[in-house]
């Protein structure tokens, strides 16, 4: 097999464009996912009432649905629900945000519940108001506990972003497929894409492991 | 200690249940300013629960407790004012692991607007010196031994300059070699005149330091006596059986 790696250089702007689209998708999904997830987490922590049930329904649904189904469903069924059909890009952002939010809600809930009862009591006993109990004592510890799984969520989302190539979002996989079919150089393009994904994901999985080891050390 | 005036803690007819377990049954206790009262009794007798009602960590089901000028149960605002007047030391220390020793002490005085940063830090250093750990102020709790952590916890409880200190089995989670360093700090505090209510199994400490010893069993307060009476003259059957088991 003769390979021609110079073709990567020839199409560097298309590849980098795909990389940028992937990063933008994941970035947007993370930001909106954190917001949606934090709200759903608050609902879940109420333990009763309509907001609790709504959050529980949301979290369970979007964690259980295969992402592929969600992407196709929003893209093809969206027009029946929204007044305008969502574009491929919008579908990508919406579906990934919803999934990210559902996972992040559970990460946040677990983080908050990992803070021991004694910490709540000590914070109250020194005379902090409920607001400062959260800000000074609970959230800083919960966020630390959330870091490893949050880093893993990033890696999950990067992987999920590949799915939206199926509806024509010009991210990495879509570009590799298009360029590959144009030039019959699948090997070069998909190898390049694999390397790029690895470079995107590896730091986060390392960070996750590093933080986890570091925390175990600190807590003793 | 303070023969005149009203008691600083006055609990009347306290009842508390957890689900079907009736853990406190009509408990009355008065503590005067400057007194050291030790509460002893078998586990499950409700003594820790009673202590936790005094600063509102648990809700009172029946009866009321006057703490200083405030009465519990009360509105959230009253609860805060009680907690700022009452320091608490826990069995498991419960230091804030993400803050340094110094920050553990300065958090509440600063947040509640009681002191500015430099004032709170000066006070904190003074307290750390008092409990004998001034060298460790920039360390994190996990870097300290259990005895050191508990002494930091005592200093933290003092940082708000409370009138009353509550101790919930402060030496029960310690390795034996660390118990005395904590008890010594508590003895020094007791002689300084602060009001202390101590739930403990350390009978030697109670005998030596307490003005009164209170015996609880099955959610009832059965004996309230001076240490010499408590160990020698009380006829209560359950107290005798308790003492015979632990002495």
* 3-state class (DSSP) for residue B91: coil
Across the range B107-121, mean pLDDT stands at: 91
| Strands, E assignment, chain B | 9-18, 21-31, 36-40, 62-67, 70-72, 86-89, 164-168, 195-199, 212-217, 220-225
Please count the structural domains in chain A: 1
Give, as one character, the DSSP assignment of residue A73.
Answer: I
CA of A135 vs chain B CAs: smallest distance (Å): 11
For residue A138, the chain B residues in CB contact (below 8 A) are: none
CA of B83 vs chain A CAs: smallest distance (Å): 5
- Of the listed ranges A82-86, B17-21, B51-55, B157-161, the least confidently predicted one is A82-86
Across the range B174-189, mean pLDDT stands at: 93
Provide the pLDDT for residue A26.
95
Q: Are B97 and A219 a contacting pair at CB < 8 A?
A: yes
Residue A1 covered by a domain: no
CA of A131 vs chain B CAs: smallest distance (Å): 11
Provide the pLDDT for residue A80.
84
Note the pLDDT tens digit of each residue in A144-200: 999 999 999 999 999 999 999 989 888 999 999 999 999 888 999 999 999 999 999
Helix count (H) and strand count (E) of chain A? 11, 0
Residue A130 covered by a domain: yes
- Percent of chain B beyond pLDDT 70? 98
Provide the pLDDT for residue A219.
55
Provide the pLDDT for residue A220.
43
* 3-state class (DSSP) for residue B1: coil
Q: Are B83 and A127 a contacting pair at CB < 8 A?
A: yes
Query: Model-level pTM?
Result: 0.86
Question: Which tops the pLDDT comparison, A220 or B149?
Answer: B149
Q: Are A118 and B90 a contacting pair at CB < 8 A?
A: yes
Question: Residue A33: pLDDT above 50?
Answer: yes
Question: Residue B4: pLDDT above 60?
Answer: no
CATH number of B9-246: 3.40.50.300
- Nearest Cα neighbor of A54 from A81, A36, A78, A73 is A36
CA A190 to chain centre: 23
Q: Is the dihedral of CA B125, B129, B134, B137 positive or negative?
A: negative
Residue among A122, A123, A214 with most chain B CBs within 10 A, to mutate: A122
Max alpha carbon distance in chain A (Å)? Answer: 73
Tokens of B100: 């340094």
How much is the ipTM here? 0.91
Count of other CB atoms within 10 angstroms of residue A63: 12
| Domain span including residue A22 | 6-219
- Per-domain boundaries in chain B: 9-246
CA of B84 vs chain A CAs: smallest distance (Å): 5
Note the pLDDT tens digit of each residue in A38-88: 999 999 999 899 999 999 999 999 999 999 999 999 999 888 887 888 899
Could you give phi then psi for residue B60, rounded to 5 degrees? -80, 130
Question: Residue B50: pLDDT above 90?
Answer: yes
Across the range B224-229, mean pLDDT stands at: 92
Helix segments in B86-164, DSSP class H: 101-111, 117-130, 146-158
Question: Residue B51: pLDDT above 80?
Answer: yes
Question: Which tops the pLDDT comparison, A81 or A12?
Answer: A12
Q: Is B2 left (phi over 0), alpha (psi -120 to 50) or beta?
A: beta
Residues in chain B: 247
Provide the pLDDT for residue A128.
94
Question: Residue B243: pLDDT above 50?
Answer: yes
Q: Binning pLDDT at 50, 70 and 90, where does residue A17 land? A: very high
Query: Distance between CA B39 and CA B219 in Å, rounded?
Result: 12
Provide the pLDDT for residue A218.
61
Query: Are A134 and A140 within 8 A, CB to CB?
Result: no
Mean pLDDT of chain A, nearest integer: 91
Q: Residue A15: which H helix or E strand, with range?
A: helix A12-45
Mean pLDDT of chain B, nearest integer: 92
Residue among A111, A118, A124, A127 with most chain B CBs within 10 A, to mutate: A127
Q: Binning pLDDT at 50, 70 and 90, where does residue A1 land? A: low
Quick check: B156 contacting A, CB < 8 Å?
yes
Provide the pLDDT for residue B236.
86
Q: Binning pLDDT at 50, 70 and 90, where does residue B2 land? A: very low
Across the range B149-157, mean pLDDT stands at: 96
Max alpha carbon distance in chain B (Å)? Answer: 55
Q: Are B57 and A132 a contacting pair at CB < 8 A?
A: no
């Amino acid at each position: 097999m003769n390979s021609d790696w110079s073709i990567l250089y020839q199409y560097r702007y298309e590849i980098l464009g795909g990389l940028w689209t992937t990063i933008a998708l994941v970035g947007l999904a993370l930001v909106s996912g954190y917001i949606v997830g934090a709200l759903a987490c608050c609902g879940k922590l109420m333990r009763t009432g309509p907001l609790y049930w709504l959050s529980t329904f949301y979290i369970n649904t979007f964690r259980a649905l295969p992402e592929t189904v969600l992407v196709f469903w929003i893209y093809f069924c969206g027009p029946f629900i929204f007044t305008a059909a969502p574009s491929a890009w919008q579908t990508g952002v919406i579906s990934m945000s919803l999934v990210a939010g559902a996972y992040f809600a559970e990460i946040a809930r677990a983080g908050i519940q990992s803070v021991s009862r004694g910490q709540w009591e000590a914070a109250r006993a020194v005379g902090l108001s409920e607001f400062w109990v959260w800000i000074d004592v609970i959230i800083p510890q919960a966020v630390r506990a959330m870091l490893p799984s949050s880093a893993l969520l990033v890696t999950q989302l990067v992987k999920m972003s590949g799915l939206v190539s199926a509806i024509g979002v010009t991210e990495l996989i879509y570009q590799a497929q298009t360029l590959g079919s144009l030039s019959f150089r699948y090997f070069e393009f998909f190898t390049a894409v694999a390397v790029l994904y690895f470079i995107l994901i590896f730091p986060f999985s390392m960070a996750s492991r590093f933080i986890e080891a570091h925390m175990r050390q600190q807590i003793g | 200690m303070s023969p005149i005036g009203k008691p600083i803690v006055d609990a009347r007819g306290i009842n508390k249940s957890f689900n079907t377990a009736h853990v406190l049954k009509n408990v009355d206790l008065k503590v005067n300013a400057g007194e050291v009262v030790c509460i002893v009794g078998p586990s499950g007798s409700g003594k820790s629960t009673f202590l936790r009602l005094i600063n509102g960590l648990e809700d009172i089901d029946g009866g009321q407790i006057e703490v200083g000028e405030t009465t519990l149960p009360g509105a959230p605002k009253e609860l805060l004012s009680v907690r700022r007047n009452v320091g608490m030391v826990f069995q498991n220390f419960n230091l804030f692991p993400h803050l340094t020793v110094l920050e553990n002490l300065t958090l509440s005085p600063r947040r509640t607007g009681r002191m500015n940063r430099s004032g709170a830090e000066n006070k904190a250093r003074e307290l750390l010196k008092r409990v004998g750990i001034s060298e460790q102020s920039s360390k994190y709790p996990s870097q300290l031994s259990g005895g050191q952590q508990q002494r930091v916890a005592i200093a933290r409880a003092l940082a708000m300059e409370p009138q009353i200190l509550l101790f919930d089995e402060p030496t029960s989670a310690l390795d034996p070699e660390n118990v005395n360093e904590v008890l010594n700090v508590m003895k020094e505090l007791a002689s300084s005149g602060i009001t202390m209510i101590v739930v403990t199994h350390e009978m030697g400490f109670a005998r030596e330091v307490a003005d009164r010893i209170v015996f609880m069993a099955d959610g009832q307060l059965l004996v309230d006596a001076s240490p010499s009476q408590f160990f020698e003259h009380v006829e209560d059957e359950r107290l005798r059986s308790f003492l015979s088991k632990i002495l």
